[in-house]
């Protein structure tokens, strides 16, 4: 009994620790004052401000465009690469996979600085393109890492069967391999999207003054005080992610229940 109370209390404190700043953000998005620390009453004006504030809106646009583009491109390159790596001989596979791990294991700031050095060396001006290229570069490894296990799980004879039945390699790839590894591809794309949307360090070093995403905007606002419209925006984003998670969760638990029901009926 005491054991249980201690467990509950501990969980409560850890969750409180993790959520306290988020609660603060949400509460202050309804605060009728530009300054944090003083509560002047309830308002929705920051949500309206969000529609009008050009700076915030443009940062949001860039964040989303970069995230969608880098998710799509890194998923395509990553999927093709994963299929190729899967078919490689053991030694070169090891080499490629170890190199692939570099951006995952390197601290963000090292990846960021090295890409910045590359762009300077090639005399490419920092801006939208460099930001997109660097986002793709740090997303691909995660896509590959989420697809490779699915390829290993796949039954090898499926492809042989398809080709025995007259499918060309390309046809077998599209009709057999891709559907088999689809869950991995989707996971990879989602990871790429969230990594890109949340990135600060790599974007900070590899974007010019003309292009900023939300993180960079927040960082530059932090010195003078963050516009509460940002709080409003992140409250909206947070709630939509939460809703999405709840929908996915209820759908998957429904399908589990359904499967269980079928099991019991048999």
Partner 1 sequence: MKIKWASYPYVLWMIIFIIVPLGLVLLSSLTIGEGVGLGNLGFTLDNFRKFFENEYYVEVLWASVNLALKSTVISLLLGYPMAMIIAREKIEKRNIMVLLIVIPMWMNFLLRTYAWLTLLGKNGFINTIVTKLGFEPLDLIYNDRAVLLGMVYNFLPFMILPIYSVLTKIDNSLIEAAEDLGANKFNVFTKVIFPLSIPGIITGITMVFMPAVSTFVISKLLGGGQYMLIGNLIERQFIEIGDWHFGSAVSIIMMVFILITMAITNKFDVDKEGGGGLW
Q: Angle 230-25-23 (CA atoms, 0-180°, nearest 5)?
A: 155
Minimum CB separation of residue 53 from partner 1 in Å reads 16
Closer residue to partner 1 in complex, CB, 68/116: 116
Sequence-distant (≥ 6) Cβ neighbours of residue 205 within 8 angstroms: 109, 112, 113, 115, 116
Kindly state the DSSP code that residue 210 receives in the 8-state scheme.
Answer: T
Closer residue to partner 1 in complex, CB, 65/77: 77
Minimum CB separation of residue 169 from partner 1 in Å reads 6
Minimum CB separation of residue 49 from partner 1 in Å reads 16
Minimum CB separation of residue 45 from partner 1 in Å reads 19
Which residues is 31 bridged to in the sheet?
A: 42
Closer residue to partner 1 in complex, CB, 64/173: 173
Whole-number Å distance between alpha carbons of 116 and 166? 49
Whole-number Å distance between alpha carbons of 163 and 242? 44
Closer residue to partner 1 in complex, CB, 48/244: 244
Furthest CA-CA distance within the chain: 74
Minimum CB separation of residue 41 from partner 1 in Å reads 17
Query: Is the separation of the CB atoms in 120 and 206 below 8 Å?
Result: no
* 42: helix, strand or coil: strand
Residue of 230, 236, 206 lying closest to 217 (CA atoms): 230
Sequence-distant (≥ 6) Cβ neighbours of residue 187 within 8 angstroms: 146
Pair of tokens at residue 104: 């995952």
Pair of tokens at residue 238: 């947070």
Query: Is the separation of the CB atoms in 178 and 117 below 8 Å?
Result: no
45: left (phi over 0), alpha (psi -120 to 50) or beta: alpha
Closer residue to partner 1 in complex, CB, 61/160: 160
Closer residue to partner 1 in complex, CB, 68/237: 237
Minimum CB separation of residue 54 from partner 1 in Å reads 20
Minimum CB separation of residue 262 from partner 1 in Å reads 19
Closer residue to partner 1 in complex, CB, 68/113: 113
């Amino acid at each position: 009994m005491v054991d249980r109370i201690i467990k509950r209390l501990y969980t409560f404190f850890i969750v409180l620790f993790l959520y306290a700043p988020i609660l603060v953000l949400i509460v202050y998005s309804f605060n009728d004052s530009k300054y944090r620390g003083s509560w002047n009453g309830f308002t929705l004006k920051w949500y309206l401000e969000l529609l009008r504030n050009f700076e915030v809106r443009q940062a949001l646009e860039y964040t989303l465009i970069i995230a969608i583009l880098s998710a799509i491109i890194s998923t395509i390159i990553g999927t093709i690469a994963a299929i190729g790596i899967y078919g490689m001989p053991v030694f070169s596979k090891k080499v490629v996979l170890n190199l692939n791990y570099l951006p995952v294991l390197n601290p963000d700031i090292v990846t960021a600085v090295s890409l910045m050095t590359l762009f300077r060396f090639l005399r490419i001006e920092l801006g939208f393109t460099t930001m997109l290229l660097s986002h793709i570069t740090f997303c691909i490894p995660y896509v590959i890492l989420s697809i490779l296990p699915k390829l290993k799980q796949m039954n090898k004879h499926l492809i042989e069967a398809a080709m025995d039945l007259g499918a060309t390699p390309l046809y077998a790839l599209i009709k057999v391999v891709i559907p088999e590894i689809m869950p991995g591809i989707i996971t990879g794309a989602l990871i790429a999207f969230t990594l890109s949307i949340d990135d600060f360090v790599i974007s900070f070093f590899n974007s010019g003054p003309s292009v900023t995403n939300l993180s960079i905007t927040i960082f530059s606002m932090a010195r003078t005080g963050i516009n509460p419209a940002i709080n409003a925006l992140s409250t909206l984003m947070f709630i939509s992610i939460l809703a999405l998670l709840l929908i996915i969760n209820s759908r998957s638990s429904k399908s589990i229940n359904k499967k269980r029901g079928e099991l019991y009926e048999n």
